[in-house]
Amino acid sequence: LSLALSGTVLSRCPSCARNFANIYCNNICSPDQSLFTNVTRVVNRTTALGTRQLAVVEYQSFYRKDFAD
């Protein structure tokens, strides 16, 4: 997902764009992901170098109400 694309879609509301980016970055980069993320679907994939690995394609996130607000 490109944050530039979401920024374009949400450009009429800078606060919305910042909030979306904050949640996206929290989902992807947080060292505490295991505390609020439940992986619900993975697939096997092959990298460009031929290595097999699992890829997460679906997950659920759980946030406290004050964070969501």
What are the residue ranges spanned by the domains of the chain? Answer: 1-30, 33-64
pLDDT of residue 17: 83
pLDDT of residue 2: 63
Q: How confident is the model at residue 1, as a pLDDT?
A: 52
What does the alpha-carbon distance between residue 27 and residue 25 come to, in Å, rounded to a whole number?
A: 5
- Average of per-residue pLDDT across 6-19: 80
Note the maximum CA span of the chain.
Answer: 44
CA dihedral 32, 38, 43, 45 (to 10 degrees): 0
| pLDDT for position 51 | 94
pLDDT tens-place string over residues 20-59: 888 888 888 899 989 999 999 999 999 999 999 999 999 9
The CA distance from 54 to 56, in Å, is: 7
